[in-house]
Every structure is written in structure tokens, then in C-alpha cells.
Amino acid sequence: ETTVGRKDPVTGIYPGIDLTPVDSQRSTSRRHAKIYRQGGRFYAAEGIGTMNGTFVNSNRLETGVPAEITDGDEVRFGVVALTFHSS
């Protein structure tokens, strides 16, 4: 499991995937989402209090409701769009 977000300047905590360098608009929350593997499949889940949304292939995730992600899926955290690859 890894957290996606931006660094927290108060605590100095960095997420596993730090989007700070590519998110000049600060559209991602400090703990924006989690990506994890379960039973050989990968999932994305939006964190509580995320303001600008988490999207998989343009579909907004509900907070706390995981969505399966597969190779080639576009996963967007705020305005930052990434392509998911499992390896």
C-alpha cells in the first residue's frame, strides 16, 4: 500500500508517491489517495477530506470506495494525471 499526495511542510512527512514537484496548483491533498494490491489486483481509494477528487478513466471515486485499476488506466489526483503500470 502506498499513499499518493504532497509533502506536509508542518510534519515533514512525505507520501510514498509525492506529487509536490508536478502539482504547482496544489490540487492534491497531503494524503490524497492510496494505491494498494489485494488478491493480485490493484486498487485506488480516495482519502477522507480530499477536495479536488480522484478519478480513474474520468470516473470520480467516492471517498473510501476503492476502484480497481489495471495497466494503462489514467488515474488523476486533482489536476495531476498519471498512467498506471503494475510493473
Copy the grid coordinates of residue 19.
Answer: 506529487
What would the DSSP string read from start to end of 35-87? EEEETTEEEEEEPTT-SS-EEETTEEPPTT--EEE-TT-EEEETTEEEE----
Domains and CATH numbers, the chain: 2-83 (2.60.200.20)
The structure's pTM equals: 0.89
At 50-85, the pLDDT tens digits run: 889 999 999 999 998 999 999 999 999 999 999 999
pLDDT in tens, 1-25: 999 999 988 988 899 999 999 999 9
Cα-flanking dihedrals φ and ψ of residue 14, to 5°? -110, 140
